[in-house]
């Protein structure tokens, strides 16, 4: 059996095995139905602040396994639903980021910088259309790279970047976000350092509690979702409530965003954003192929790169559609590329990929690793059939995303008509409910409220909230990479300078901070 035979068997398995009904004589399989349902559900949860794709995947996986069982035929329907959630939530996360300045997922943090200003100009429809087009474009490019390069690309990247290089790359990303996001480079650096400090409270890699003050709750550290959603969403809610109260006291009215002007996506707009989509999709694909780094870094580097090459008006941060395109293409391109290390090495690249791996381990019949793409003479490699079945489901999900996904996402734009005095309490309640459902203890709720007030004061003092959050998310990856780099270099304290690649990353980090600090000084 050759490669083309396995590809054909994978396609046939997705579209014809276990048909539920038929349309015009064409069978509609359970896998196809599950991909469609997962995509729509993913868009909805991505557009709901406080939920997000990983939470939806975590809730769905045990339910799916209880419905379909542990037989091999259950593998593709379950994976199809999870893939649909992963892709749909990435697209849907842009909706609250654009409409309310509260990202539905951490992946869409940078989308708020240009999406929300465009909404305030009365063009939420255009912002949503740009986000959808860019997101699905980046996702499609990433899937093509996954399908053509999964057998060898992850191994090449893994060999090229060792632990010192990975640690240096994370430092570079933190330097980028600190320098680029916000109005002050030094405040951005302080915010990033504060994020690292808060993330390192609790038990570290050495097994000893740090800064826990004897508290069992603090010994486990602050829950990631509580810290991120607290600073991002509750901080924005508290600030918006204060702004609304001040506005009512001064004018006795509440400003509403009115849809006006051109909200369509024209061919001229597509020509403007295509170079940014191409560059960001390439960045997202490369970052996604690195195990454990994820889409937050991709979005940061994609936005920073787009900002450097952008010329014209409006500028990045003032409602530029290029800024939305750069962010959405980068974070969406991670989705497919994250499965490269999963399928080739059995190593998850981000949280969504973890649930894909858990599904394969729970159901059985498919063990990700180098053997997946091994051809055996005169035999069928069933794992390769499942792999190409998964690829087929991903391509089908992209097709649905181009069509039904775009329509459904634009329907979410009606949320802009909800009055703020009603919406803000709903967002607050949904966020706290999502935290309690996932953590099942009140400590997580208290932590969320505490980080919410931290986010509020950071906004009042003009500190970069995004720099804090991105540093908090990358803190564990940074510590793990630095500890492993320290070990593999024989306890060399200068491990960041152990290779030319890591040296280049460190030097670029320093130059980025100096460059933006000098430009900031010149502007002042």
**Rounded Cα–Cα distance for residues 471 and 177 (Å):** 9
Q: What are the tens digits of pLDDT across the range 144-165?
A: 888 887 666 545 555 667 778 8
Mean pLDDT value across residues 233-253: 76
Q: What are the tens digits of pLDDT across the range 64-121?
A: 887 887 777 788 888 889 989 888 888 887 887 888 777 656 667 788 888 888 888 8
H helix or E strand, kind and range, residue 29: strand 26-29
**Mean pLDDT of the residues in the chain:** 79
Residue with tokens 């559609």: 321
What DSSP designation does 102 have? Answer: -
Between CA 239 and CA 520, with CA 523 as vertex, the angle to 5 degrees is 65
How buried is residue 205: exposed, middle or buried, by Cβ count under 10 Å (0-12/13-18/19+)? exposed
**pLDDT value of residue 180:** 67
Q: If pLDDT is split at 50, 70 and 90, which confidence band does 285 have? A: confident
Within 75-123, residue ranges assigned H as helices are 75-92, 94-100, 111-120
Between CA 169 and CA 480, with CA 304 as vertex, the angle to 5 degrees is 25
**Rounded Cα–Cα distance for residues 469 and 184 (Å):** 17
**pLDDT value of residue 414:** 61
Encode 351-369 in three state secondary structure. Answer: HHHHHHHHHHHHHCCCCCC
**Rounded Cα–Cα distance for residues 240 and 33 (Å):** 40
Q: If pLDDT is split at 50, 70 and 90, which confidence band does 523 have? A: very low
Percent of the chain with pLDDT over 90: 6
This prediction has a pTM of 0.67
Residue with tokens 């489901």: 393
Question: Residue 312 half-sphere exposure, CB side, CA atoms within 13 Å?
Answer: 10
**Rounded Cα–Cα distance for residues 331 and 285 (Å):** 9
Q: How far apart are the first and last CA of the chain?
A: 68
**pLDDT value of residue 206:** 63
**Rounded Cα–Cα distance for residues 327 and 301 (Å):** 9
Mean pLDDT value across residues 318-346: 82
Choose between 71 and 331: higher pLDDT.
Answer: 331
Mean pLDDT value across residues 399-409: 82
Residue pair 345/291 in contact (Cβ under 8 Å)? The answer is yes
Residue pair 398/140 in contact (Cβ under 8 Å)? The answer is yes
How many helices, marked H, and strands, marked E, lie in the chain?
24, 4
Phi, psi of 202 (to 5 degrees): 120, -170
**pLDDT value of residue 457:** 92
Q: If pLDDT is split at 50, 70 and 90, which confidence band does 133 have? A: very high
Q: With b meaning 16 or more CB within 10 Å and e meaning fewer, what string describes 428-447?
A: beebbebbeebbeeebbbeb
């Amino acid at each position: 059996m050759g490669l083309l035979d396995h590809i054909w068997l994978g396609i046939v398995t997705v579209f014809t095995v276990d048909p539920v009904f038929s349309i015009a004589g064409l069978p509609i399989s359970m896998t196809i139905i599950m991909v469609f349902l997962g995509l729509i559900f993913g868009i909805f949860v991505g557009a709901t602040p406080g939920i997000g794709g990983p939470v939806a995947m975590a809730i769905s996986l045990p339910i799916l396994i209880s419905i379909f069982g542990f037989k091999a035929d259950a593998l593709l329907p379950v994976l199809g639903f999870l893939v649909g959630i992963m892709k749909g939530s990435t697209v849907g996360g842009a909706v609250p980021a654009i409409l309310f300045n509260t990202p539905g997922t951490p992946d869409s943090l940078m989308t708020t910088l240009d999406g929300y200003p465009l909404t305030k100009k009365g063009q939420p429809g255009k912002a949503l259309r740009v986000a959808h087009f860019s997101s699905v474009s980046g996702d499609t490019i990433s899937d093509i790279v996954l399908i053509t390069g999964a057998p060898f690309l992850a191994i090449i990247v893994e060999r090229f970047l060792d632990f010192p290089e990975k640690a240096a790359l994370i430092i570079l990303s933190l330097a980028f976000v600190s320098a680029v996001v916000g109005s002050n480079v030094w405040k951005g650096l302080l915010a990033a350092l504060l994020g690292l400090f808060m993330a390192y409270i609790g038990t570290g890699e050495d097994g000893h509690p740090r800064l826990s003050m004897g508290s069992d709750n603090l010994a486990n550290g602050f829950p990631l979702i509580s810290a991120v959603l607290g600073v991002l969403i509750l901080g924005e809610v508290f600030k918006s409530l204060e702004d609304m109260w001040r506005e009512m006291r001064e004018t006795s009215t509440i400003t509403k965003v009115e849809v006006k002007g051109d909200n369509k996506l024209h061919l001229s707009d597509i020509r403007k954003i295509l170079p940014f989509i191409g560059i960001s999709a390439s960045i997202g694909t490369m970052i996604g192929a690195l195990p454990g780094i994820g889409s937050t870094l991709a979005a940061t580097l994609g936005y920073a790169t787009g900002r450097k090459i952008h010329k014209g008006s409006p500028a990045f941060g003032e409602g530029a559609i290029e800024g939305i395109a750069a962010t959405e293409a980068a974070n969406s391109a991670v989705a497919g590329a994250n499965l490269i290390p999963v399928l080739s090495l059995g190593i998850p690249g981000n949280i969504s990929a973890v649930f894909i791996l858990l599904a394969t381990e729970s159901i059985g019949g498919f063990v990700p690793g180098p053997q997946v793409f091994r051809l055996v003479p005169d035999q069928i490699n069933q794992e390769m059939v499942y792999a190409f079945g998964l690829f087929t489901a991903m391509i089908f999900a992209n097709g649905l995303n181009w069509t039904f996904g775009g329509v459904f996402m634009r329907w979410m734009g009606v949320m802009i008509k909800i009055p703020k005095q009603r919406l803000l309490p709903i967002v607050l309640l949904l966020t706290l409910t999502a935290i309690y459902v996932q953590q099942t203890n009140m400590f997580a709720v208290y932590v969320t409220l505490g980080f919410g007030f931290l986010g509020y004061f950071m906004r009042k003092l003009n500190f970069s909230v995004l720099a804090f959050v991105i540093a908090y998310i990358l803190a564990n990856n940074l510590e793990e990479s630095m500890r492993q780099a320290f070990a593999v270099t024989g306890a060399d304290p200068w491990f960041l300078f152990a290779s030319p690649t890591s040296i280049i990353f460190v030097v670029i980090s320093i130059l980025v901070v100096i460059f933006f600090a000098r430009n900031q000084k010149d502007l002042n």
